[in-house]
Amino acid sequence: MAKKLTFNSITEIFEECEALIGKPKLYIIQACQGKKDVVTVSRDVDTPAIPTLQPPKTNTRTPIKADQVMFLAAPPGHCSYRCGEYGSWFIQDFCTVVEKHAKSHSLLALTTKTTNLMSKNEGRVEDKLVTGLPCIKDLTLRKLFYFKPMGAFKEYKEKLTEENMSMVYE
């Protein structure tokens, strides 16, 4: 029988590496977390969420679990879905969002866009309409994280104030 792999057993490997202290660690997990389907419902009013981001407090020490994001294909207890021809809805949508928006949006914005895009996917499982709904687990980033090619990051960095720069991983 296969040994069950836990999220902690994955992250602990990287937490023990001194070279990664203070560096962002992104875990993208494409796996079911249970047997429940994320069933779709219809609604009449679309009220957008208003995200807010509070700056982290500065410490002289770095917590061992700091600077991590685990982005999962499904919430705890639920299934993740894939198309036989194109693969995982989660990976496909995340790659689409990264390709379009990585130069201008933070990781948190990219995950939000991916969640929104996935929630618009619909498939049929037996007699139910289901959708994908990824989730973030263990969001402990202390700064904004951007996927930036070095040249593009240099241009972006020049536009930041000193205060804003302390909020971005280099």
pLDDT at 113: 95
Q: Decide if 137 contacts 70 (C-beta within 8 A).
A: yes
What residue segments make up the domains of the chain, in order of their start?
23-38+64-142
Q: Per-residue pLDDT for 61 more than 80?
A: no
Please give the CATH topology (third level) of the domain spanning 23-38+64-142: Rossmann fold (3.40.50)
Q: Is 103 left (phi over 0), alpha (psi -120 to 50) or beta?
A: alpha
pLDDT, tens only, 17-57:
888 888 888 888 887 666 766 555 554 445 455 555 566 55
Where residue 117 falls among pLDDT bands split at 50, 70, 90? very high
Q: Decide if 140 contacts 56 (C-beta within 8 A).
A: no
Where residue 129 falls among pLDDT bands split at 50, 70, 90? confident
Q: Per-residue pLDDT for 105 more than 70?
A: yes
The residue that leads in pLDDT, 111 or 141, is 111
Where residue 165 falls among pLDDT bands split at 50, 70, 90? low
pLDDT, tens only, 143-162:
888 887 545 555 555 666 65
Q: Cα 56 to chain center, whole Å?
A: 19
Calpha distance 81→99 (Å, rounded):
21
pLDDT at 45: 47
